[in-house]
């Protein structure tokens, strides 16, 4: 069952008037146009441009299975149990006292359409998940971890994936404590996966010796939820009608754990491809920025963009809808040059 269908079913099933108003507003939010990244505004920043393009918290997309959770810090603890030598509990103050890491990480919703707005880039601060698990003493037979949120959402990950140093539990976003909508007091961040697998309002980590099927996975969404490499135009509506003979096309690219190795453009509906300048590609965890100098003759063009991952995978032509593994396919813009 797809998310929107599930929510409509919940409304039809008799939830209260307040919840109905919330869900109606939330679904409308998903369909609205958010401020779209303009890579051309960052061209002068060079290699660090992608890290400088931070999405303000009010503009950062929010998706969850129900109402946001409003948790009081004094009443909250994170519990680690299951296949551990010593179950452990942590207050937020204790977690903040641990060695912190700061990262710029781009998140994208598995339900984001090709060129859609459900994507954002933020500066996150938190602790390495591996450090917390070490304090509880994970038993050798544990090979899976389940992450439970205060909203009764849960998801699972192979243990070897989440003990990687790049996986963190974040308590700050863009230099301030997480807001309620973004998971206060603590959320999971697993670079390379869609946001669906990154639990907000985290309350419990359970170590297991078997595979764990989470909330959205039970409803048919991807279990692995690994993000496929893809490139997008930054403002396709601005290039649909061009006047002149010299232009700069630009956009972003995003991959999985291997990041982005290259971006290519086709100006003839996919018959031939040219290499774009990947001018800002500082991290596998954040989006990369590309640009392409174009001097076309007047006429009609079908312009396509595709990315190549660090592992050599080429973005497929598509399009494929978001359910169940995330949308794939090239973004296509019809351009008229006069």
Task: Name the class of domain 47-218.
Answer: alpha beta
Nearest-angstrom CA–CA distance, 74 and 104: 28
Nearest-angstrom CA–CA distance, 165 and 167: 6
Structure-token pair, residue 231: 């490139």
Nearest-angstrom CA–CA distance, 199 and 213: 14
The residues near 61 (Cβ < 8 Å, ≥ 6 apart) are: 34, 107, 109, 117, 118, 119, 120
Q: What is the pLDDT of residue 235?
A: 86
Q: What is the pLDDT of residue 25?
A: 42
What residue spans in the chain does CATH classification 3.90.420.10 cover? Answer: 47-218
What residue spans in the chain does CATH classification 2.60.40.650 cover? Answer: 230-337
CA 194 from chain centre, in angstroms, equals 5
Report whether 270 contacts 304 (CB < 8 A). Answer: yes
Q: Length of the chain in residues, anyone?
A: 338
Whose CA is closest to 188, among 158, 168, 162? 168
Q: What is the pLDDT of residue 28?
A: 45
Report whether 263 contacts 278 (CB < 8 A). Answer: yes
Q: What is the pLDDT of residue 11?
A: 34
Q: What is the pLDDT of residue 9?
A: 34
For each of the chain's 338 residues, which pLDDT tens digit applies? 334 333 333 333 333 333 333 443 444 444 455 567 899 999 999 999 999 999 999 999 999 888 889 999 999 999 999 999 999 999 999 999 999 999 999 999 999 999 999 999 999 999 999 999 999 999 999 999 999 999 999 999 999 999 999 999 999 999 999 999 999 999 999 999 999 999 999 999 999 999 999 999 999 999 999 999 999 999 898 999 999 999 999 999 999 999 999 999 999 999 999 999 999 999 999 999 999 999 999 999 999 999 999 999 999 999 999 999 999 999 999 999 99
Nearest-angstrom CA–CA distance, 123 and 53: 10
Q: Which residue has the tokens 């640009």?
A: 291
Count of beta carbons in the 10 Å neighbourhood of residue 320? 14
With b for 16 or more beta-carbon neighbours within 10 A and e for fewer, the 259-291 pattern comes to: bbbbbbbbbeeeeebeebebbbbbbbbbbbbbb
Q: What is the pLDDT of residue 34?
A: 53
Write the secondary structure of the chain as one string of H (helix), E (strand) and C (coil). CCHHHHHHHHHHCCCCHHHHHHHHHHHHHHHCCCCCCCHHHHHHHHHHHHHHCCCCHHHCCCCCCCCCCCCCHHHCCEEEEECECCCEEECHHHHHCCCCEEEEEEEECCCCCCCCCCEEEEEEEEEEHHHHHHHHCECCCCCEEEEEECCCCEEEEEHHHHCCCCCEEEEEECCEECCHHHCCCCEEECCCECHHHCCCCEEEEEEECCCCCCHHHHCCCCCCCECCCEEEECCHHHHCEECCCCEEEEEEEECCCCCEEEEEEECCCCCCCEECEEEECCCCCCCEEEEEEECCCCEEEEEEEEEEECCCCECCCCCECCCCCCCECCEEEEEEEC
Architecture field, domain 230-337 = Sandwich (2.60)
Q: What is the pLDDT of residue 92?
A: 98
Nearest-angstrom CA–CA distance, 42 and 52: 8
Whose CA is closest to 147, among 237, 228, 58, 225? 225
> Can you say whether residue 119 is alpha, beta or left, with left for phi > 0 and alpha for psi between -120 and 50 degrees?
beta
**Helices 17-31 and 3-12, interaxial angle, to 10°?**
160
């Amino acid at each position: 069952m797809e998310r929107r269908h599930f929510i409509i079913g919940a409304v039809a099933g008799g939830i209260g008037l307040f919840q109905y108003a919330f869900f109606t507003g939330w679904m409308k939010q998903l369909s609205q146009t958010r401020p779209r990244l303009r890579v051309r505004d960052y061209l002068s920043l060079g290699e660090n441009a992608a890290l400088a393009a931070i999405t303000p918290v009010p503009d950062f997309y929010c998706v969850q299975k129900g109402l946001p959770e409003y948790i009081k810090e004094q009443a909250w603890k994170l519990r680690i149990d299951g296949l551990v030598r010593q179950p452990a509990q942590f207050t937020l103050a204790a977690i903040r006292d641990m060695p912190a890491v700061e990262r710029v990480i781009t998140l994208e919703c598995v339900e984001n359409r090709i060129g859609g707005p459900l994507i954002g880039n933020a500066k996150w601060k938190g602790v390495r998940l591996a450090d917390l698990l070490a304090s509880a003493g994970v038993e050798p037979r544990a090979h899976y971890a389940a992450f439970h949120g205060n909203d009764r959402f849960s998801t699972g990950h192979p243990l070897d994936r989440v003990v990687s140093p790049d996986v963190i539990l974040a308590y700050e976003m863009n230099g301030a404590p997480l807001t309620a909508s973004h998971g206060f007091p603590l959320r999971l961040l697993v670079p390379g996966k869609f946001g669906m697998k990154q639990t907000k309002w985290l309350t419990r980590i359970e170590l297991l010796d078997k595979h764990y099927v989470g909330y959205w996975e039970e409803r048919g969404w991807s279990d692995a939820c690994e993000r496929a490499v893809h490139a997008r135009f930054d403002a396709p509506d601005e290039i649909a009608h061009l006047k002149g003979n010299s232009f700069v096309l630009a956009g972003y690219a995003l991959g999985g754990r291997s990041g982005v190795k290259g971006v290519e453009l086709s100006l003839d509906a996919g018959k031939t491809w040219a290499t774009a300048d990947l001018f800002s590609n500082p991290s596998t965890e954040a989006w990369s920025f590309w640009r392409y100098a174009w001097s076309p003759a007047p006429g009609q063009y079908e312009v396509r963009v595709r990315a190549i991952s660090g592992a050599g995978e080429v973005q497929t032509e598509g399009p494929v809808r978001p359910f169940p593994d995330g949308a794939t396919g090239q973004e296509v813009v019809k351009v008229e040059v006069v």
